[in-house]
Amino acid sequence: MKKVLALTVPLLLAGQMVYAKGMADIRASLANIVDQAYHRQANQNHLITLAARNKMLSQQIAKEAVMMAYGSDRSLHRARMLEAAKRFDAALTELQKADPDAKPVLEEVAAEWAPFYRHVKKGHAVDVAYIIAHNEKLLRLSHKLTQTLKNGMVISDTLNKVVEHTLKIADRQRMLTQKMFKEKLLIHYGVDPKRNEVRLKGSIILFENGLKGLMEGERRRGLVKITNKKVHATLLEMWRLWSDVQALYRQSDISDEAMEKLAHTEPKLLQKSEEVVRLVENALEL
C-alpha cells in the first residue's frame, strides 16, 4: 500500500503541474489575443480619425484659398492653406502605408489629391479657381474613405455603436464649420452665388439639426442625448456661438463688417467642434 501511495502521489502532483501549466498557457494565449484585438481596434480608430479629419481639411483648404484670393491678408491665408494641405497630405500618406484593405478608395483619393495639392502649392488665381471647383469632390472621396474604414471595423457592443454614430455626427459638425463659411465667402464675393446659396442652405440645416441632435438626442437619427458633462458643456458653447451668427449665415446679402464677425466666430466654432470630437472619441459613456 505504501508503495502504491509512493507512486500515486508524485503522479498526481505531476498531473496537477501539467494542468496548471496548461491553464497558464491558455490564459497567456487569451491575454495575447485580447491584447492584439485591442491594438488592432486602436489602430483602426486612429486611421478613421485621420480620414475623418481630412474631410474637414478639404474644406479648410478651400476656405483659406477663397480668403487668400479675396481677403485683405493674402500671405496669412496662403500660409494657413499650405499648412492645412500639408496635414491632409501627411494623413493620406500614413493611410496609404497602413491600410491596404482600403487601397481602391485610397487610390481614388490620391488621384484627386495629386493635382489639387499642386494647385495649392502654386496659389495663383487659376489655382484658386481649381480649388474652388474641385474641393467638393475631394470632400466626397474623403467621406467615402472614412466610411470604408468604418465598415471594416468591428463594433464590439451597443454602447460602441452609439458612440460611433455620435462621433460621425460630431465629425460632420467639424467639417461643416469650414464648409458653411467657405460657401458664405463665395456668395459674398459673387462666386457662383446661386449654387452656393443652395449649398449653404443645406449645410445650415445639417449643422443646426446635428447640433440639436447631439444636445437633445434624436431617435430618427439614432442619437441619444449626451449626458457626459464635458461634452454637453462644449456643445452648449457651440450653440451659443452659433446662435450669435446663424441669422447672418441665413441672410442673402451682408456687409463687410458682418463678414468680419463671421470670420471672427468661425475659428471658435471649429475649435469647439474639435473639442467635441476629441471628447467623444475618448468617452466611455455619453
Per-residue model confidence as pLDDT tens digits over 189-214: 999 999 999 999 999 999 999 999 99
- Distance separating alpha carbons of residues 224 and 200, to the nearest angstrom: 27
- Predicted pLDDT at 132: 96
Query: What structural domains does the chain harbor?
Result: 41-154 (1.20.1440), 158-286 (1.20.120)
Structural contact between residues 73 and 43, judged by C-beta atoms closer than 8 angstroms: no
Residue (of 121, 151, 120) closest to 58 by Cα position: 120
- Predicted pLDDT at 143: 96
Structural contact between residues 58 and 139, judged by C-beta atoms closer than 8 angstroms: yes
Residue (of 60, 73, 66) closest to 142 by Cα position: 60
- Distance separating alpha carbons of residues 209 and 249, to the nearest angstrom: 15
Widest Cα–Cα separation across the chain: 106
Give tens-digit pLDDT for 8-54.
556 556 566 656 566 555 554 444 433 443 345 556 788 999 999 99
Cα dihedral value 216, 220, 223, 227, nearest 10: 30
**166 or 237: which carries more pLDDT confidence?**
237
- Predicted pLDDT at 23: 57
End-to-end CA distance of the chain: 68
Assign 85 a pLDDT band (cuts: 50, 70, 90). very high
Mean per-residue pLDDT over the chain, rounded: 86
- Predicted pLDDT at 59: 98
Structural contact between residues 114 and 132, judged by C-beta atoms closer than 8 angstroms: no
Cell numbers found for residue 207: 449643422
The neighbouring-strand residues paired with 223 are 218
- Predicted pLDDT at 36: 40
Structural contact between residues 141 and 112, judged by C-beta atoms closer than 8 angstroms: yes
Q: Is the pLDDT of residue 142 over 90?
A: yes
Residue (of 33, 5, 45, 25) closest to 167 by Cα position: 45
Q: Which SS3 state, helix, strand or coil, does residue 226 take? A: coil
- Predicted pLDDT at 157: 46
